[in-house]
């Protein structure tokens, strides 16, 4: 048998991901990562230059928004990164991956700024800070008033000169809401913040003749939360749903929510995110048919 097998590797058909290719890394001075799906904006006080590495992350089939294309397309280190697959937060996962690759590739003095409306990505900024990188998250439309209050408080307070503790540089946490002019998400709640005291329970009596008591309204709505698949994940959405479902009984959505917190495993954190404790089917109370008057 004189046949020979060609063992030489084939050349790859796909190009290398643009975020890994950072030519002339020593000339880069800033990294701007933008979630083009939920916050396609450039902070008003950020002016990318030819030395800025820009990546815009998009869902499958999407193209760079026109506003970003006009501002960024002329930059030599600007490229869009399309997620290979769809799904919830697909662009956010890809952004996290590329941020990690860029962090491992670029010198630590280069600052990272992520533009996204997804609060969960604050963990990514916090980890970059812990590793010694100046990193921050900016959003054009914070989805909770607490976030903007906290950002304004951070901008007005003097920054401490000591280090950040676990191995990070002293400048690691100075992600500048005042320098950038935007609303910067805090990567973690303020250590001194304490939740406001819950209102005292009100008398469990119907507000309207022949109506339900507060505990009955809460039980009925709690049963709905256990049945539905898409539970409201934000405080504002939850209060609106309570108002539409139980408003005819005379109780405010806030009163019903406090009852749900006390007895039905509903929790709301400082960022306005809602969590509902799931119970066994046998523990779900019987409820009247759903409707505006339920």
Instruction: Outline which parts of the chain fall under CATH 3.40.50.
Output: 25-159+167-184
pLDDT given for residue 16 in this prediction: 47
Do 56 and 81 touch, CB atoms closer than 8 A? yes
The number of CA neighbours under 13 Å toward the Cβ of 129 is 24
Residue 194, pLDDT score = 57
Indicate the SS3 state at residue 174: coil
Comparison of pLDDT for 83 and 162, the residue scoring more = 83
Checking if the pLDDT of 6 tops 80, the result is: no
Average pLDDT, the chain: 75
Residue 262 has pLDDT above 60, yes or no: yes
For residue 192, name the pLDDT band (cuts at 50, 70, 90): low
Cα separation, 41 vs 70, whole angstroms:
11
> What is the structure's pLDDT at 249?
82
pLDDT category, 182, cuts 50, 70, 90? low
Which fold, 25-159+167-184? Rossmann fold (3.40.50)
Q: What does DSSP assign to residue 93?
A: H
Residue 142 — pLDDT band, cuts 50, 70, 90? low
Q: What is the pLDDT of residue 160?
A: 61
For the residues 100-120, what does the mean pLDDT come to? 90
Q: What is the CATH number of domain 214-283?
A: 1.10.10
What integer is the mean pLDDT of 138-149? 64
pLDDT at 154: 62
Q: Which residue has the higher pLDDT, 8 or 73?
A: 73
pTM: 0.43
Rounded to whole angstroms, how far apart are CA atoms 290 and 144? Answer: 29
Numbered ranges of CATH 1.10.10 in the chain: 214-283
Question: Nearest Cα to 178, choosing from 158, 194, 202?
Answer: 158
**Among candidate residues 281, 181, 267, the one with its CA nearest the CA of residue 232:** 267
What's the mean pLDDT in 79-98? 83
Per-residue confidence band for 84, with pLDDT thresholds at 50, 70 and 90: confident
State both tokens at 176: 């500048």
Structure confidence at residue 1 (pLDDT): 45
> Per residue in 131-170, is it b (16+ CB within 10 Å) or e — as a string?
bbbbbbbbbeebbbebbbebbeebbeeeeeeeebeeebbe
Share of the chain above pLDDT 70, in %: 64
**Does pLDDT of 34 surpass 90?**
yes
Give the burial string for 264-283 (b: 16+ CB within 10 Å, else e).
bebebeebbebebeeeeeee
Contact 112, 87 (CB under 8 A): no
Q: What are phi and psi of 43, to 5 degrees?
A: -50, 140
**Looking at residues 160-180, what average pLDDT do you find?**
50
């Amino acid at each position: 048998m004189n046949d020979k097998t060609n063992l030489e590797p084939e050349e790859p058909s796909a190009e290398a991901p643009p975020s890994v290719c950072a030519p002339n890394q020593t000339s880069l001075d800033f990294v701007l990562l933008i979630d083009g799906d939920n916050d396609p904006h450039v902070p008003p006080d950020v002016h990318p230059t030819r030395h800025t590495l820009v990546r815009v992350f998009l869902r499958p089939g999407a193209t760079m928004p026109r506003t970003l294309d006009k501002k960024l397309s002329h930059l030599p280190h600007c490229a869009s990164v399309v997620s290979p697959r769809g799904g919830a937060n697909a662009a956010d996962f890809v952004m996290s991956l590329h941020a990690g690759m860029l962090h491992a590739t670029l010198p630590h003095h280069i600052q990272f700024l992520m533009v996204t409306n997804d609060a969960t990505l604050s963990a990514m900024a916090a980890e970059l800070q812990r590793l010694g990188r100046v990193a921050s998250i900016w959003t054009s439309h914070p989805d909770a008033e607490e976030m903007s209050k906290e950002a304004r408080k951070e901008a007005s307070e003097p920054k401490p000169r000591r280090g950040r503790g676990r191995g990070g540089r002293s400048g690691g946490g100075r992600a500048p809401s005042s320098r950038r002019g935007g609303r910067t998400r805090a990567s973690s709640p303020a250590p001194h913040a304490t939740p406001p005291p819950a209102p005292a329970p009100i008398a469990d009596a119907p507000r309207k003749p022949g109506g339900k008591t507060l505990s009955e309204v809460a039980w009925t709505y709690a049963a709905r939360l256990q049945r539905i698949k898409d539970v409201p994940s934000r405080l504002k959405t939850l209060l609106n749903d309570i108002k539409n479902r139980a408003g005819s009984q005379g109780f405010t959505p806030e009163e019903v929510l406090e009852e749900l917190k006390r007895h039905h495993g509903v929790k709301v954190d400082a960022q306005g995110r809602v969590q509902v404790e799931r119970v066994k089917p046998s523990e779900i109370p019987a409820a009247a048919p759903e409707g505006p008057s339920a």
